[in-house]
Amino acid sequence: MASSRKPVLTKKDYLNSILRSYVLQNAQNYGTMQGTGMANSIMPQLRKIYKDDEAEFKRVTTSNLEFYNTNPQPYPFVTSIMLAMYDSGQDENDVRAIKFALMGPLAGIGDALSQFGLAPLFSSIFASLALQGMTWAPIPFILCLFGITFGVRMLMGYLGWKVGTSIIDTLSDRMAAIADVASMLGLTVIAGLSVSFVKVNLAWQYTQVIKGKTQVVAIQTILDKIMPYMLPIALTYFVYWLITKKKWTIYKIVILLFVAGVLLSVLGILK
């Protein structure tokens, strides 16, 4: 399939978008996490792609404000792919599917690398050097961490550009099917993460006497035996229902959850 438009982005634009990955979390919030940051990070590139069509530019930019949450280090991989796809006029739904499919895996890889790999490694090396009297140890500590993660960003941005452009050349007719695969993969990860991220724990417990021994039984333990993470799922579905059926705004929901959290905690229902 021929691309429906002639790419206008140069390598310099991609480099710029990689450097702009540092603004990803500058508007982090509980509504959309990195959503605003994502739109902001690719805005100059989108402006270049849609420079003749202000309305289209606004539409695509606002569509990228939606929820996003990944690790900022491998993040340029996503933006490079997305920009390559936008730039060649790929279907926006496909771009979106790819974007969300990459979110979970990249967060996993990024966290494993930056939080549980690099940081503890250099922490333990340079903290022990500092304890041995090397007072300037913090300098190589930060240089190593910053340098390596900067390299990761550059490399991921480059790989994303490679993949993005090759997908367009060879696989564009199969994009819909690939996007479907990506959506499914993405939703699996999102569903799994939602189970472990959302925390709803009942504080209720009762005591019972079995053969003269008193036992404290927590209701939460019983619920977990019936079906683990039952309440987080119920809560997520409740919020989903509020959004889709009741058309509640995020702010309203956040306030509701805040009040509910404090109230239920004070009443001794949740802990």
Partner 1 sequence: MTYSIVQALLVGLWAAFCFAGQQWGIYTNRALFISFGIGLILGDLQTAVVFGATAELAFMGFGVGPGGSTPPNPLGPGVVGTIMAISISGLKPAAALSLSYPFAILIPFVITFIFSVNANNLAWSRKAIEEGKYRRFHFLANTTLLGFIIFAFCFGFAATLSTSALKVFVQAIPQWLISGLTVAGGLLPAVGFALIMSTMVKKEYIPALILGYVCVAYLKMPVIGLAFAGAVLAFNNYYNGRRADKKDHGTNGNDDGSNENEGGIEDGI
Site for partner 1 in 49-68 (CB under 8 A): 54, 58, 61-62, 65-67
Q: Does 5 bind partner 1 (CB under 8 A)?
A: no
Decide whether 7 or 117 has the Cβ nearer to partner 1: 117
Closest CA to 266 of 222, 203, 216: 203
| Residue of 53, 56, 169, 180 that binds partner 1 (CB under 8 A) | 180
Decide whether 4 or 44 has the Cβ nearer to partner 1: 44
Q: Does 22 bind partner 1 (CB under 8 A)?
A: yes
Q: What is the dihedral of CA 264, 265, 266, 267, to 10 degrees?
A: 50
> Residue 202 Cβ, how far from partner 1 at the closest point, in Å?
11
> Residue 217 Cβ, how far from partner 1 at the closest point, in Å?
21
Q: In 10 A of CB 150, how many CB atoms? A: 14
For the segment 63-92, give every residue that binds partner 1 (CB under 8 A).
Answer: 65-67, 69-73
Whole-number Å distance between alpha carbons of 80 and 218: 49
> Residue 262 Cβ, how far from partner 1 at the closest point, in Å?
3
Task: Report the amino acid identity of residue 161.
Answer: W
Q: Does 17 bind partner 1 (CB under 8 A)?
A: no
Long-range pairs, 12-15, Cβ under 8 A, ≥24: 13/44, 13/45, 13/48, 13/83, 14/45, 14/80, 14/83, 14/157, 14/161, 15/157
Beta strands (DSSP E) in the chain are 205-210, 213-218
Q: Does 176 bind partner 1 (CB under 8 A)?
A: no
Decide whether 75 or 161 has the Cβ nearer to partner 1: 75
User: CB under 8 Å to 23, separation ≥6 — which residues?
Assistant: 37, 40, 41
Number of residues that bind partner 1 (CB under 8 A): 114
For the segment 120-159, give every residue that binds partner 1 (CB under 8 A).
Answer: 120, 123-124, 126-128, 130-131, 133, 135, 137-139, 141-142, 145-146, 149
Whole-number Å distance between alpha carbons of 135 and 121: 19
Q: Does 107 bind partner 1 (CB under 8 A)?
A: yes
